[in-house]
Structure 1
Amino acid sequence: MALTTFQFLNQIFIASEIVFFNIFGLFGNLNFIFLTATKTKLKSKSSYLQCALCFSHIICLSFELPNAGLLFTGIQLKRNQCFPAISIYIFFICAQAVIILMMTLDIFIIVFFPAFYQTVTTWKYLTGMLTIPVVYSSGIVIWGFLAMDDEIVMFCNPPLALYHTVSRFWTFSNVIINTITLVLFISLILLFYYKGKKQKSDTRKIMKRLKVSILFFIFTWYIGLLAADLFVALGFTGPTLIFMMSNLVFFVLISYSQFFYVVIWRSPEYRNAFFEAWSCIPCCAGLKEKHIMSTKISATAHSHQAASTVSST
């Protein structure tokens, strides 16, 4: 009886996490798309690519809500019932990992092929960048449909909804994708460290706002993905597997929800646009005024420092 009570309390806790991160994450992702769409100075090929990531995370967060319902009811579905129900979720959960890689590649293109980045049309650039995520995600989903059976799955989530062989390939390929992303991103960080101020200001701004967010995503996604595969590989089953797999959703929910909040922390442009958009709310209006004042003070201090440097030389 104590175990059943513990499981029920754990389910309530996880369901509460899902609801909280849906509110928190959906607000952030929708705001990023809204600000990019309505503020001309925020529109760029890179920001549109980031909007694709936010849209993917909106879908992923939304599909976690039915999982919260299943946690309360304890209903177990067959794979041929579960997989079709969350196939859209699986498509976007696959796509978002590759989009993160494309965002890293985007910075490489800006740094090493600036002429190409400036001259290529936006729709051609985005089509090229999003083709790989679509092809990869479509392949996983199609394979998932072809391989699904009537086995009862303990929990209706992507690692278990996919047939064992497909799930292992999905996990392994995601680890490879994330590793490539991490290697590329570390290379970029080292490049920026050695080149310093020689980089263009726009490139530095993109790097500044993406550095923490991408690293945050990689490590939270790594934890959730590797642990889920490890639990299945170790042979955990029944209530133990349900408990361990369901609690991993915390790391996944963080990866879906953090992007916008890291951006407004790291990017004055997005932070100012956010305060301006929500200036009707007293607290946001106050924060906007403080942000403007701090920006002016910082600019004045920088000007005095520059002037002192010039006079001393």
Structure 2
Amino acid sequence: MSSAVEMINQIFIATEIVLFNIFGLFGNINFLFLTYLKPSLRSKSSYIQCALSVSHIFCLLFELPNAVLLFTGIQLRRNVCFPAISIYIFFICAQAVIMLMLVVDLFIIVFFTTFYRRVDNVTYTVLMLFVPFVYAGFTVAWGFVMMDDELVIFCNPPISLHPVVSRWWSMSNVGLNSVTLCLFLFLMIIFHFRGKKQKSDTRKLMKRLKVSVVVFVFSWYMCTLGVDMFVAIGLTGSVLVFFQSNMVFFALLCYTQPFYVMLWRSSEYRVAFVEMWSFLNCVKSLKSKGWVERTTRVTTQVSTMDSSKM
């Protein structure tokens, strides 16, 4: 592959990283602030979502040094690159399992309601984050064990990991995504048959998660499946690195989308977001156009209707 093509591709990827960082950091930080400022938005599920947002913040921030390396054309060896982004790899592994835990959380709400109500928020959140952190810790530890001094063109997770560990990482993520999708489809079927008999809070949580899960799974699927598929079809050398590195677009989309999906699907978060940023003129214009009032009215109607059928 020509050096000119590689240089253009590096600039393109670096630009993607910068743009997604702007939107992604804004969204994830806003979610954390809204959860902190609005007691009505705090729940076991929102605490798990906060852990996902923290993971995505680390993932986005650790992509920025990679953008600098891409702009400058500097190449590193694996024994320099991997330790430098090992924290990133930890959180990139954790966030994949945390999304699964959000679906498991909904499963527990539906089928183990008594347990869900009795356990306190801190204990529940710790239990739900135990598996993600174990998986992430194992992957990073194995990466250190297998680390060598091979020159890597891009300092990103699939390439900084030893090929054996990288293959495990991509295949295990495909498996985790498959479980997430299957479990969520099962819950959608259950909700379809239960209809309006399902409790209002659970239905609203399902509404918020529906699009987020689908976008997460397929953005993350495209990233991890692409990384593994390019190896499986026999690509090697700079061609393999070229295609694997461009999968970062789907990873960045994954890190950025949850908050914006939440705003789209949840009236409570839209109202809270506008209230928090109402000191800005552009946000005041939303209020003057009646956007908040319409949103609040819809929320009230839904809550009233659901409460009467519980």
Q: TM-score range by the shorter chain?
A: over 0.9
Mark the runs of 5 or more structure 1 residues left unpaired by the alignment: 306-313
In the other structure, the counterpart of 1:100 is 99
In the other structure, the counterpart of 2:82 is 83
- How has the CA–CA distance of structure 1 residues 81 and 233 changed in structure 2, closer, same or farther, with 3 Å as cutoff? farther
Q: Alpha-carbon deviation of 1:248?
A: 1.3
In the other structure, the counterpart of 2:168 is 169
In the other structure, the counterpart of 2:121 is 122
Matches of residues 11-50 of structure 1 in structure 2 within 5 Å?
A: 11-50=10-49
Residues 55-77 of structure 1 show CA distances to partners (whole Å, capped at 9, x for unaligned) of 00000000111111121222222
Q: Aligned partners of 1:160, 1:12: CA distance in 2, in Å?
A: 18
In the other structure, the counterpart of 1:293 is 293
- How has the CA–CA distance of structure 1 residues 300 and 32 changed in structure 2, closer, same or farther, with 3 Å as cutoff? closer
What is the letter of the counterpart of residue 143 of structure 2? G
1:208 aligns with 2:204: no
Q: Is the 8 A contact 1:171 1:229 kept in 2?
A: yes
Q: Is the 8 A contact 1:80 1:149 kept in 2?
A: yes
Q: Aligned partners of 1:199, 1:301: CA distance in 2, in Å?
A: 16
Q: Alpha-carbon deviation of 1:213?
A: 0.5
In the other structure, the counterpart of 1:310 is none
What is the letter of the counterpart of residue 61 of structure 1? L
Mark the runs of 5 or more structure 2 residues left unpaired by the alignment: 306-310
- How has the CA–CA distance of structure 1 residues 103 and 76 changed in structure 2, closer, same or farther, with 3 Å as cutoff? same
Larger radius of gyration: 1
Matches of residues 130-169 of structure 1 in structure 2 within 5 Å?
A: 130-169=129-168
Residues 276-302 of structure 1 show CA distances to partners (whole Å, capped at 9, x for unaligned) of 000011121222352233246658998
- How has the CA–CA distance of structure 1 residues 235 and 78 changed in structure 2, closer, same or farther, with 3 Å as cutoff? farther
Q: Is the 8 A contact 2:267 2:296 kept in 1?
A: no
- How has the CA–CA distance of structure 1 residues 226 and 281 changed in structure 2, closer, same or farther, with 3 Å as cutoff? same
1:234 aligns with 2:233: yes
Residues 19-68 of structure 1 show CA distances to partners (whole Å, capped at 9, x for unaligned) of 00000000000000110011010000100000000000000000111111
In the other structure, the counterpart of 1:280 is 279
SS of residue in 2 equivalent to 1:140? helix
Q: Alpha-carbon deviation of 1:239?
A: 3.5
Q: Aligned partners of 1:174, 1:112: CA distance in 2, in Å?
A: 26
Q: Aligned partners of 1:258, 1:55: CA distance in 2, in Å?
A: 14
Moved more, 288-297 or 184-193: 288-297
Residues 219-276 of structure 1 show CA distances to partners (whole Å, capped at 9, x for unaligned) of 0111111111222333434442333222211111000000000001100001100000
- How has the CA–CA distance of structure 1 residues 157 and 41 changed in structure 2, closer, same or farther, with 3 Å as cutoff? same
In the superposition, the TM-score normalised over structure 1's length comes to 0.92
Q: Is the 8 A contact 1:231 1:241 kept in 2?
A: yes
Q: Is the 8 A contact 2:62 2:88 kept in 1?
A: yes
In the other structure, the counterpart of 1:309 is none
Residues 166-196 of structure 1 show CA distances to partners (whole Å, capped at 9, x for unaligned) of 1111111111111111100001111111111
Q: Aligned partners of 1:205, 1:164: CA distance in 2, in Å?
A: 42
What's the % identity of the aligned pairs?
A: 59
What is the letter of the counterpart of residue 130 of structure 1? L
Q: Aligned partners of 1:300, 1:148: CA distance in 2, in Å?
A: 56
Q: Aligned partners of 2:44, 2:281: CA distance in 1, in Å?
A: 33
Q: Aligned partners of 1:296, 1:148: CA distance in 2, in Å?
A: 54
Q: Aligned partners of 1:3, 1:266: CA distance in 2, in Å?
A: 45
In the superposition, the TM-score normalised over structure 2's length comes to 0.92
Q: Is the 8 A contact 2:274 2:292 kept in 1?
A: no
